[in-house]
Homo-oligomer: A and B are copies of this chain.
Amino acid sequence: MSRREEMASKYFHCNIRERAAFEAGIKLGTIYHQFVGTPVASSNVASLEKAIEEGVMVQPFVEDVKVNIDRTQLREKKNEFDYQSLTGSMISVELTIRVGEVLTIAVMRYIEELNYPLMYIKEIREQVEE
């Protein structure tokens, strides 16, 4: 652990699993509110997914991330004016956060029965080294 990480850690009054959950929440809130509203069409959907993923990867504690934008919600572009803005219900994200030995897998995806994009914790586990 670097000196700077040690300095930051002393501000936290919770256990490592709770901190991993907190860090996962920050990243999902970030993705949603940074990128919702971005112009999106079939021509740029792949580069947008990649940019979101790489933007998440530079943040602390991110071990892995997969972003998917639902192509079926992108209309065929019919004319000059016809583009869309990215909405929460188009994006799904699966994110792995590691703090120390704790891995948290968190998900954001549109849930039909709820009718909105839910952010949730799919799993928290301690990684056992062999």
Check A83/B60 contact, CB under 8 A, given A25-B24, A106-B22: yes
Count of chain A residues near B, Cβ 8 A: 68
Query: Are A60 and B81 touching (Cβ within 8 A)?
Result: yes
Interchain CA distance A80-B1 in the complex, whole Å: 9
Interchain CA distance A24-B34 in the complex, whole Å: 17
Check A119/B26 contact, CB under 8 A, given A50-B51, A111-B11: yes
Query: Are A14 and B21 touching (Cβ within 8 A)?
Result: yes
> Could you give, for residues 6-37 of chain A, a 1 whenever the CB lies within 8 Å of some chain B CB and a 0 otherwise?
01100111100111011111111110111011
Residues of A within 8 A of B (CB): 2, 4-5, 7-8, 11-14, 17-19, 21-30, 32-34, 36-41, 43-44, 47-48, 50-51, 54-61, 77-83, 85, 87-88, 106-107, 111, 113-114, 116, 118-124
